[in-house]
Every structure is written in C-alpha cells, then in structure tokens.
A and B are shown apart, each in its own frame.
Chain A
Amino acid sequence: MTTPPDIQITTARRSILQRLSIVWLIPVTTLLIALGVAWQSYSDRGPLIEITFESASGIKAGETVLRYRDVNVGIVEAVGFSPFLQEVHVSVRLDKTIAPFVDDDAEFWVVRPVVTAQGVSGLDTVLSGVFIEGLWNKTPSGLVASHVGLADAPLLRVGETGLQVVMRAQGSAVLGEGTPILFKGIKVGQLGKPRLGGNGSEAVADAIIYAPHDKLISSSTRFWDISGFSFKIGSGGAELDFSSLASLISGGITFENILSGGEQVTNGTQFAIYPDEAAARASIFSDSSGPTLELAVVFDENVSGLSAGSNVEYAGVQIGEVTSLRGIYDEVQFGDSRVRLLVAMEIRPERLGLAEGTTPDSALAFITDRVAEGLRARLATASILTGGLKVELVQVVDAPPAMVFVPDEGMPILPSTANNIQDVAATAQGVLQRINDLPIEELLGSAIVFLDDASALVASSDVQSVPGEIAGLIADARGVIGSEDVQKLPANLNALLAELQGTTTDLRRILDQIEQADTVARLLAAIDAASAASKDVGDAFVGVPDLMEQLSALTQTASALPLEKLVTDITTIVNTANDLLASEGAMALPEALSSALAEVDGVLAELRAGGVVENANRTFASTADAADAVAAASEGLPALVARIEALIDQASTTLADFSGSSEINRDVRSALREIEAAASAVASLSRALERRPNSIILGR
C-alpha cells in the first residue's frame, strides 16, 4: 500500500496583502463610492433659507418646491412656527448655484390656483400642489437667509418691467384685483389687490403699467372706470356701450392724457380713478391735491338746494366743495333762537392762487385778510333748472366790518352776506336786491358830505360876517344919504328954490322982459344945459341894468346850484339863514333901509313941500339964475348917483361872496331895488326937473 505523498506544507508566512482576497475590493469600492456620493451631495447641497408666511396652506416639507421662472431651484425641508406661533416658518433648501442671487430684495409667495373673471392662473398647482415662487434680480449680492413671504403674488412678474403706481378710487369706481388697465383696447397693465386707504374713505390698489406702455403715463394722465356697460336712449336711438367682455364682468380701467405736457411720473405716484370719462375730463379743471382748508359759514336762511358736494366758488372758479350741512342753534352767539344753516366747506388753497405748498394756516390767514377787505360768503344759484345752490365767496364793497370767527374747537367761521339766489320764487327778491344794490347809500353819503360843507360855509365866520357887512353897507348908504351934502341937498334946494323963488319974481319981472327981449332963448339955453346935465345922470344909470344882469346871473348861478339835493336839509339852512337874519345886524338892516328910505321920502316930501313951491313961485322971477343953480345942483347929482352905484357895486360884490343864501340875496335885492327905486326917483325928479322945472315951481 502506497502511502499518499507528503503534502508540501508551505510554512512561510505570507504577507497580509497576499493573504487578502481580491473580493475585499468590492466593499471597499462600495464604501468609497458611498463616501464619495455622500461627500458630493453634502458639498453640492445649497444653503437653507427661511421664509416666513402668514399661512402655509398646501406647503409640505420635502415636496413643495421653490421655483424661479418655473424651474425648481429648491425644496421645502421643514415647516415650522415662529416662537409664539404668529407665523409659519418654511425652511427651503436652495440650489447652490442660485443661492447668491437670493439677496435682500428677493420676494417669495405661494402660488395657488386662482380663478377670477380675468382667467385662471396657477392651474398647474392643481395637479402638482402649491409651490413657492421666488423672484430676485440678476445681480448676485450674497445670500440672505431670512425672508418674509408675500401674501400675494407681486404684480410685476419675473422678467417684466413697468411703472408701479397707486390707484385711489372714491365713490362708485370699483377696484378689483387683476382688473385690466386698457389703453385703446389694449391691456397695458393691471391692478393689484385693493385695500382700504385714507381712513376708509377710499379704496387703494397698486397698479402696474407694463413697459413700454409706462411711457404713456404722465402727470396729466387721468384714469377712469369703464366697468359694466352704459345704455342710452336718445334722439340718435338706443346705444349700448361696453368696452370688452372682460371689463363687462370684472371691470376695467382706461386712461388718457387729458392735457399735453405732463411730466414723467415715478414709481409710487398716486392717481385717482374717476367714475366715467366726463368726470375724468372735468377733473382737469377741478382736480388737485394738497392740503385743504376747512371753513364753515352760517347762513341765516335755511334754503334747500345746497348739498354736500356743492361747489364753493370764488370769482367763478371752483376752489372747494361743501362737505356737510347741518342746522345750528346757538342763542348765545346769534342772539335769537332761530335755527341757522351751518355749511362746512373744504377749500383748496392753491385754487386761490396761493403758492404750492401753502399750509391751511397760511391760507386761513390769507382769507382773514380778504375778509377784512370785504370778502363774504353767500349762497348763489348753481343751476336754475335744478335749483341747486353753491356757496360763493364775493367781495362786498361796502360790507359791514366782520372777521373770521375762530372758535375754540371746530372750523373757522366765515362771515356771510345776503344770498344771491335766482330761483323763480326769488326773482322778485332779486329785483329788490338790485334796487337795494343801487348806490343810495353812497349818494346819501355824498349829500351829507355836501350839506356838511354848506353848513360849515354858512357857519363860517366869513358868511356870518356878511350881514354885519351889509348892515355896514346900509349904514354907509344911510351915511351917504344922511351926509351933510345930501342933507344939505334939500336945504340947498330950499336955498336954491328960495333963490328960485327970489328969481321967480325976477323971472316974472324978467318974463315980461323976456317977452320983449330974448330972455326966453337964454332960458332955453339954460334948459339945454340942464338937459345935458340930466343926460349925464341918465348915462350914469346905464350901469344899473348891468348890475341887474350881474345880480340875475348871480341868482342863476345860485339856482344852478344843485338845490334839489339840498331839499331834504334846506330847512336847516333856512333856519340858519333865519337865525342869521334874526341876528341883530340883519334886523337892523331893514330898519336902516327904511329909515334911509324914510329920509329919502322925507327929503322928497320936503322937496314937495309947499313952501318950496311957494318959494319957487316966489323966486320964479329969477329963473335964469335959478336955472343956472339947478344946473349946478344937477351937476352934483351924477356924483351922488356914482356913489350910489359904487355902493351897489360894493353890495353886489359882497353878495357875490354870499352866494349861499338866496333868501338873504332876495332881501338884499329888494333892499337894492328900493335903493334903486330911490335912485330912480331921484333920477325922475331930476328928469322932471329937467323936463318941467317949473312943475316944481308951479306945483304941477
């Protein structure tokens, strides 16, 4: 039996590498691959950002993705809460490549399916679930790890540029999210989600005008609502008007540059939305912004027709509108218990022509100044058809002084004046108003001023001294008449007549001679001389009519004075005149005149006195000498007449000064007339003497 061959036993110890099976490469490789994958995925992993949302509806960790331009750039890793559960924190793992772009201005919002009248958006999210959309610009400026998510998608989507403005709608214009902004039928923008603004009095919505249409918008652009449809029946038939089907359902806004030359606007500019095109166009004349001044006016009458929104006009320009009306009852302030109309108004200072940026306070100061100059508020007819009223600020020329009443609280109160309401009922009142508006007060004022002047004139020392002067004048006349020459005149005449008497006998004796001799011719020559002398006297009287003319002219001047205006107060001046006449000087005047006249009469009586005639008769004989003496005496008459004339001239001069009082004038004139009559008596005496000298002598 053969033994099996010895087994070759290798005792040499092999190295560990030799003993290792090649199979170990598999797990080692696997491990390396795993580690490589792990390292790569770790190193490729982007940063984690945290976005805060109000609500995380539909967001699921590990599922909801972050999209940028519809490309997934991240995934939600966790959804949690802020420390006090106010908000939801969504942690999003960003792609590494996109991370640097997610900087401060990045915006995030949750895209959900939205179905509106304008269409359906976010439909893909119906199948895939919501996703977070991110928007950031193209300049990498470092990662910002914490963001606040938007509640709604921003108006300006990725890749869009445009002008962002703010729309304000008051009244009936309706803002809706996504409402299109149309320009000539083309959608050039849309509205964002509306919200309440301005203390709840208006709706405000952001709006976007996409480039390049944003160049259409300027400061003169006006927007108006074209929602719904309008239906009109007129002479041209029925008309149904709506802009587009979308705007019919959801509303729409269009715009137009009403004025040329508007300025380019910037983001955030506010625009109002008007209910219709007409309002938008009208707004160019009425629209303005800036601070308003609130004023109130109290009207005595409660007139229907004024309402909130009525215009407030100044010089025909609308400067504001009525904001509210109410009755006011304040016995303390107004003094009676009537209910008055309190109108609150809103004034736009820049419409008054005040500089831009005028504060309400400075505008109030301006109005206060104007009120001091007569600015008043009144009600006026805005439309005769409707009877609508407006408040008008007018400059009342002769307004009673008033001022702006600034109460401790509440609006300053502007003074009011009579209303200017032209409705049918008030037409008669308007006519009366016109009459009332006639410048009677002005006229009366002028008359009063005139009469005051006249009174002052009459009361002046110059005029007061006139009677004294007249008295002096009369005294002078009396002095003239009573002067020795004149007094001597009768004596002279007596002497003359005595001489005449003496001469008459001579004459009688001479006449016999005359009948024989030519003494008659001598007498005739003497008479001729007397006639010449008398003619001088007559010439001297020629000036008297001129004087009369002057007097009448004076009277005419006086009558040409606006005496009618004096009528009302004439008694006053008459009284003054009466007082004047009752004064001592004036009273003395007639006496002086009458005494003067009496003296003249006396003179004449003496002239006529029979003694003279007898003397004359007696002296007629010496007529020739007497005639010479008469001629000589008659030569003195012109001098007397000249003195009287000078006296009358003086009197007329005095009266010319004294043109105010016709009564005095008249008296003076009558006095002068008597003087004149006396003078003419003297003249006629002389004339009689001239004509028939022997009548004195013969008493016939």
Chain B
Amino acid sequence: MQLVDMEFARSAEHVITARDAGLVACRRCARVWPMGTAICARCGSQLHSRDPKSLQRVWALWVAGLMFYIPANLYPMLQTRTLFDSSESTIIGGAIELAQSGSIGIAIVILVASVLIPVGKFMAIAFLALSVRRRGLLTPRQRHALYEIVEYVGRWSMVDVFVVAILSSLVQLSVVASINPGPASLTFAISVVFTMMSAQSLDSRLIWDEITDLKE
C-alpha cells in the first residue's frame, strides 16, 4: 500500500516524504533509517527527520553575514598606491568611478558580483527561512529551485575577494605602484562565508513540509 502510495505520489506529482514514510535519511551518506534512530550506523552522524535548529542557525549566520557586509561596503576594498597618488576605493565607490571613467561593463560586473548577488542572497535566504513557517508566494518547487540557485551562486560570491587577492599579490612594484587589500575585502569575505554557511544551514526538507501540512 505504501509502495502504491509512493508510485501514486510520483505519478500524481504528490510527494510523499520520508517523514511520512516513518523513515529518516542520513544527510551525509543518504542511508535511510527508521524513524527514531539517533545515529547513522554507517557514517556516525546524527539523524534528524527535521533539523530542529536549522532555522536558528540560518538566522544566526544570516545576521552575522549581514553585519560583516556593512563594513564591507563602508571601508575601502582596495588601496592603490602609485608614484604620485594613493587612492582607496570602496566597492560601490570603485564601481561608480569605473562607470564615470567609461568602463561601464566592468562596473556592472563589479556591481553584480559584489552588490547584487550578495544582497540577493541575503534576501533569498531570508525569504526561504521565512517561507518555511508561513505560506509564501512561491510553490515549494519554486522555492527549492531558488534554494538551489542560492547554493550554486554562493561559491561565486568570492569573485571580488579573488580579484583583490590576485591584484594585491601581483601588483607590488615597490614605490611605483602597489595594491593592497582594504579592510572591506576581509569583511566581505567573511560575509560571503557566513551567507554560504547560512544557506547551507537551511534544512531544505523544511521547504516541503508545508505541502504536507496543507495536505493534512
């Protein structure tokens, strides 16, 4: 009957969750255990049907990430010292300077990589975390897709930091010119780390619980 149900669910776009089936899957090695098993006998990790502190972790890391994102925008990202000049540029200030000097393409890249994506991530994570508890605009499938995107994009969020790291290691021409990372590069990197951790902390199974709840 259960199998029938499962087949029915698959065909009828109805998802039957492991929880419904009284099972719990190990999130590390994917071995399925009966509900109530505390520890995965194969890999030794804790088993939770639903991670009870997932949302707490999401929110905690999200807050931490956001806190680091503020100085990342206020402090200079890059300190450029040439023979006659020394300049420090923040993320947005640098992008604006680039745009004013005609390099609109690069400015857009920087804005997308350093502003749009991180901000979008914060918003997406917050949206997902909120929509677990209450009914949202998106279907669970859409939300899951959003979650996948956030996870995928997260690893590219470090583009800025990479650029700064590479530039400052390459451009060290003593007196003539030198580029050093500003304090914002560090906080930006930490912010990115925290948002990635925040995104990963989200127990994606929670996305589907709503449907179950609705069905019930």
Complex: A31 Cα to B201 Cα, angstroms:
20
| Most chain B beta-carbon contacts within 10 A, residue among A5, A20, A23 | A23
Within 8 A of B (CB), among A26-67: 26-27, 30-31, 34, 63
| Central interface residue in A4, A30, A126, A129, by most chain B CB within 10 Å | A30
- Decide if B142 is an interface residue (CB 8 Å cutoff): no
Contact A27 B22 (CB under 8 A): no
User: Pick the contact of B83 from A8, A24, A25, A127 — CB < 8 Å?
Assistant: A127
- Assuming the contacts A5-B36, A127-B83, A127-B84, asked whether A23 and B56 have C-beta atoms less than 8 A apart, the reply is yes
Query: What chain A residues lie within 8 Å of B83 (beta carbons)?
Result: 127
Q: Which residues of A contact B205 (CB under 8 A)?
A: none
- Do residues A21 and B67 form an inter-chain contact, with CB atoms below 8 A? no
Name the distance in Å between A8's Cβ and chain B's nearest Cβ: 7
Which residue from A7, A26, A63, A128 sits with its C-beta under 8 Å from B194?
A: A26
List 15 A-B pairs, Cβ < 8 Å: A4-B34, A5-B34, A21-B56, A21-B57, A23-B53, A23-B57, A23-B60, A23-B61, A26-B61, A27-B64, A30-B63, A63-B86, A126-B84, A127-B84, A129-B85
Give Cα A26 to B34, complex, Å: 34
Measured between beta carbons, the chain B residues less than 8 angstroms from A21 are 53, 56-57, 60
Residues of chain B lying within 8 A (CB to CB) of residue A126: 84
Chain A neighbourhood of B35, CB < 8 A = 4, 7
B36 touches A24 (CB 8 A): no
Name the residue of chain A whose CB is nearest to the CB of B175: A127
Chain B residues touching A, range? 20 to 34
The binding surface of chain A is classed by DSSP as helix
Type the 1/0 row for B80-95, where 1 means its CB is closer than 8 Å to any CB of A.
0001111000000000
- How many whole Å from A17's CB to the nearest CB in chain B? 12
Q: A8-B36, A21-B56, A21-B57 are in contact. Are A27 and B84 (CB under 8 A)?
A: no
Chain B residues whose CB sits within 8 angstroms of the CB of A23 once the complex forms: 53, 56-57, 60-61, 201
B188 at the interface (CB under 8 A from A): no
CA separation between A63 and B85, bound complex, in Å? 10
Minimum Cβ distance to chain B for residue A232 (Å): 50
Chain A residues within 8 Å of B71, by CB: 34
Chain B residues numbered 120-169 whose CB sits less than 8 Å from any CB in chain A: none
Which residues from A are CB-within-8-Å of B86? 63, 128
- Contacts A23-B57, A30-B67, A127-B84 known; list 6 others, CB within 8 Å: A4-B35, A21-B53, A24-B60, A26-B64, A27-B60, A30-B63
CB-CB contacts of B43-70 with A at 8 A, as 1s and 0s? 0000000000100110011011001100
Choose one: B22, B36, B64, B84; the contact of A30 (CB below 8 Å). Answer: B64
* A163-196, CB < 8 A from B: none
Give the nearest-CB partner of A29 in chain B.
B64
Q: Tell me the complex Cα distance, A8–B36, Å.
A: 8
**A23–B67 alpha-carbon span in the complex (Å):** 15
Given A8-B36, A23-B61, A26-B194, residue A31 in contact with residue B67 (CB < 8 A): yes
Taken together as a complex, chains A and B put the C-alpha atoms of A293 and B84 apart, in Å, by 61
Distance in angstroms between the alpha carbons of A24 and B62 in the assembled complex: 10
- Say whether A20 contacts B64, CB under 8 Å: no
Q: Smallest Cβ distance from A549 to chain B, in angstroms? A: 129
B195 smallest CB distance to A (angstroms) = 12
Contact A20 B67 (CB under 8 A): no
Chain A nearest CB: distance from B187 CB in Å? 10
Q: Which residue of A lies closest to B64 (CB)?
A: A27
A27: contacting residue among B36, B61, B85, CB under 8 A: B61
B57 close to A27 (CB less than 8 A): no
State the CA gap A37–B7 with chains docked (Å). 59
Residues of chain B lying within 8 A (CB to CB) of residue A25 = 60
Chain A's closest residue to B36 (CB) is: A7
- Separation of A241 and B22 alpha carbons in the complex (Å): 113
**B residues in contact with A20, CB < 8 Å:** 56
Which residues in B have their C-beta under 8 angstroms from that of A7? 35-36
Would you list the 10 A-B pairs with minimal beta carbon distance, nearest first?
Answer: A21-B56, A21-B53, A27-B63, A27-B64, A23-B60, A23-B57, A24-B60, A4-B22, A26-B64, A30-B64
Return the contact of B56 from the options A8, A24, A31, A63 (Cβ within 8 A): A24
A184 to B124, CA, bound (A): 83
Shortest CB distance A307–B (Å)? 58
Q: How far is the CB of B192 from chain A (nearest CB, A)?
A: 14
Complex interface: chain B residues within 8 A of A31 (CB): 67
- The smallest beta-carbon distance between B73 and chain A, in angstroms, is 14
Give complex CA distance A111, B63 in Å. 47
| B contact residues around A5 at 8 Å (CB) | 34, 36
A128 to B201, CA, bound (A): 48
Q: Which residues of B contact A128 (CB under 8 A)?
A: 86
Given the complex, which residues of A lie within 8 Å of B34, measured CB to CB?
Answer: 4-5
Which residues of A664-699 have CB atoms within 8 Å of chain B's CB atoms? none
A4 to B18, CA, bound (A): 13
A672 to B35, CA, bound (A): 197
Per the bound structure, the CA–CA distance linking A20 and B60 in Å amounts to 10
Chain A's closest residue to B53 (CB) is A21
A7-B35 Cα distance, complex, nearest whole Å: 8
**Complex CA distance for A455 and B148, rounded to whole angstroms:** 155
Closest to A37 in B: B71
CA distance A8 to B49 in the complex (A): 13
- What is the distance, in angstroms, from B166's C-beta to the closest C-beta of chain A? 26
The answer on a CB contact under 8 Å between B67 and A34 is: yes
- Measured CB to CB, the closest approach of chain B to A65, in angstroms, equals 11
What are the residues of chain A within 8 A of B61 when measuring CB–CB? Answer: 23, 26-27
Contact partners of A63 in chain B: CB under 8 A: 86
Which residue of chain A lies nearest to B85 when distances are taken between CB atoms in the complex?
Answer: A129
Taking CB atoms, residues of chain B closer than 8 Å to A34 are 67, 71
Q: How far apart are the CA atoms of A27 and B191 in the complex, in Å?
A: 11
